[in-house]
Amino acid sequence: MLRKTFEGEIQQLKDDVLLLGSMVEQAILDSVEALKKRDVKASERIFAEDAAINKKRFDIENKLMVLIATQQPMAHDLRLLASTMEIISELERMGDYAKGIANINIRMGDAPLLKPLIDVPRMAQIGADMLHRALTAFVNEDVEMAKSIPIQDDEVDALYNQVYHELMMFIIQDPKTIERANWLLWVAHNLERVADRVTNICERTVFIVTGEMKEIKATDDEFWKGQHS
């Protein structure tokens, strides 16, 4: 077969993206788990480990540059490499959200959680699950699967909405809770963004296969409307 070496390098590249994705997925779940348990030590570890995610992203980016320079990719190959560049950037930013959540837990110090975390871990679980499936769709170049994932973003948005209103109630009832409520709002916001970025990955996967660049869905407008009404 022609281009056997190149095919092998593409496979290796996809494996690297999967590895980066699993690091990010774990960081998201761990960051929320540490917050839930108020385990500052664990958060410090997650905060430090973000450097490994960043390094992995740069390693993959470098490999991509070398492949583009040496293999002159065209058509599907070109779409795959260009999209992978986007996808690893999305993953790295998701890693930053996990780091942000870890940082909140560290900065909270001895202050207890405003409320037991129920919806926030659910948001993390759904986001991580979406990410996992989005990367499976990417590796297998499965358009139908990629298109089916962003609908779950609605669940995350609904949970965020719920958390938001709940925290607003705390603030209204007792303005002294503002800072603690705000911390949790940031955590929820970060998780809401994770789901949005998963949608971007799914859009890239569809583009790799079909060559068509379009948004899979955009319910965000509705979401924000509900937020400020």
Partner 1 sequence: MTQPSTERSPFVLETKDLGIFYGDFRAVASVNIPIERHKITAIIGPSGCGKSTLLRAFNRMNELSTGTRIEGEVLFEGENLYHPMVDPVEVRYRIGMVFQKPNPFPKSIYENIAWGARIHGYKGKMEELVESCLRQAALWDEVKDKLTQSGLALSGGQQQRLCIARALAVQPEVILMDEPASALDPIATLKIEELMQELKKNYTIVIVTHNMQQAARASDRTAMMMINHERSGTVIEFNETQKIFTNPKDKRTEDYVTGRFG
* Cβ at position 76, least distance to partner 1 in Å: 6
| Contact range with partner 1 by CB under 8 A, out of 36-44, 66-74, 89-97, 175-183 | 66-74
How far is Cα 148 from Cα 64, in angstroms, rounded to an integer? 28
Number of residues binding to partner 1, judged by CB under 8 A: 13
Q: Does 186 bind partner 1 (CB under 8 A)?
A: no
Tokens (6 digits) for 29:
């779940």
Residues 133-162 that bind partner 1 (CB under 8 A): none
Query: Residue 183: what residue type?
Result: W
Q: Does 92 bind partner 1 (CB under 8 A)?
A: no
CA 168/CA 10 separation, integer angstroms: 48
Return the range that interacts with partner 1 (CB under 8 A); candidates 71-79, 85-93, 114-122, 128-136: 71-79
Assess 226 for contact with partner 1 (CB under 8 A): no
Asked if 76 interacts with partner 1 (CB under 8 A), we say yes
Q: How far is the CB of 83 from partner 1 (least distance, A)?
A: 12
- Return residues touching partner 1 (CB under 8 A): 1-3, 6, 72-79, 211
